[in-house]
Amino acid sequence: MRTGLFYRTYRVVEVVSDWSDRLASAMGIALVAVMTFVVILQVIFRYIVKAALPWPEELARYLMVWCAFVGASSALRVGEHVGVTFIVDKLPKPLGRLVRLLIKVAMFYFMLILIKHSWRIAQLGWRSKSGAMLMPMFYPRVGVTVGSVLMQIQLLDLIFKDLAALFGINLVADVQEVVGS
């Protein structure tokens, strides 16, 4: 039975990754539902009531930013994010695994930078208000930070899986051994 640090750490990362994906999915559903409602409301008021509301377009735009970044973490988890893989796919299998791992490590580092700078920009939003809703711009801007944190969690899980694949470790069986003991 393997109970090393790698396996125990992976198990924690896997649980956090699963939890954050459920959170991202719930947030995505809620954000899309609110955005749909707001857009339909604006259409009704603009074309039926003939009195357009000033705030729905702005709110829908901010919700779209949140949807994009939160949804990106779920897409990343299942490998559905945008990527150009035709070169990596042509490499020998071990080298391809190594390149995929290095790409994910680079993405992880990029997310660190994005989190740092998007948080700074979000904090500046406390000083400014949105045009129509007069809401602090912190709220629309912090969506980039939240989505980046969620993506970083998924990347950590994927990095562990890539390390396991690179070294020929069957994480599923090994994790079951650790949990079962």
The number of distinct structural domains making up the chain is 1
Q: CA-CA distances (angstroms) from residue 129 to 41, 75, 80? A: 23, 31, 35
What is residue 2's predicted lDDT score, i.e. its pLDDT?
Answer: 56
Chain segment 120-179, per-residue pLDDT in tens: 999 999 999 999 999 999 999 999 999 999 999 999 999 999 998 888 777 775 445 444
What is residue 149's predicted lDDT score, i.e. its pLDDT?
Answer: 98
Chain segment 26-46, per-residue pLDDT in tens: 999 999 999 999 999 999 999
Range of the domain at 167: 5-180
What is residue 87's predicted lDDT score, i.e. its pLDDT?
Answer: 84
